[in-house]
Structure 1
Amino acid sequence: MAASSKRKVTYFHDADTMGSYYYGPGHPMKPHRLAMTHNLILSYHLYRKMEVCRPHLATDEEMLQFHAAEYVDFLRRVTPDNQPDFSKQLQRFTVGDDCPVFDGLYDYCRL
């Protein structure tokens, strides 16, 4: 592939929102891991080879372009406190240990 036809990587980053979610004690994703990754991108000047974008919160209409209404409604309503009430949806949408329910899940998914 010729250098002029190579695709550029797009990197979405927003330190104010992306690192402020806690996935639970057993989950490997921690806010400091996002910060470390971002610092490596800066230190190695990789951002020079990327298009850096700040994500916006998707509207409900934008979410529904890619996801079923039932799934979007589930994401909007489920919380760590009411999670047992959604046992069927948790199984159906494969939400659990690896993809946990956490406070702010819907807004996180909108990023």
Structure 2
Amino acid sequence: MYRIKRLYYLDGKPYIYFTHYLPGNIKLDHIEDDNAFSIYMQLYKNKQFISNFHDEFYIEEPEEYILKALELEKGPLLGRKRMTYNENGEVIEVSFAQYNTKIHHYVIDYQA
């Protein structure tokens, strides 16, 4: 299994702390530019085609290292757990995200 930790910024401030877990039998590209590295492109290149996601949202008291990375002194934070499945119903990614909603709310815009 691979564990990939990432920190996303919004207007120069740390906004989302991600921890992704991917199957160990896939081959990951060498990461030269964190901004150009896509978890989902890596899955696609390894013929792991996404069928669906399952997201759960919750409020949590994060670990100290997450607070530090997000430049916060205390929680709680909005958390999200995502399970990503392939066309065979197999889990091909699990990710955990903690959001610094003090700088921006979690927003979903969906257009049909």
TM-score by length of 2: 0.27
Structure in which a larger fraction of residues adopt helix: 1
Structure in which a larger fraction of residues adopt strand: 2
TM-score by length of 1: 0.27
Q: Which has the higher contact order (CA 8 A, sep 6+)?
A: 1
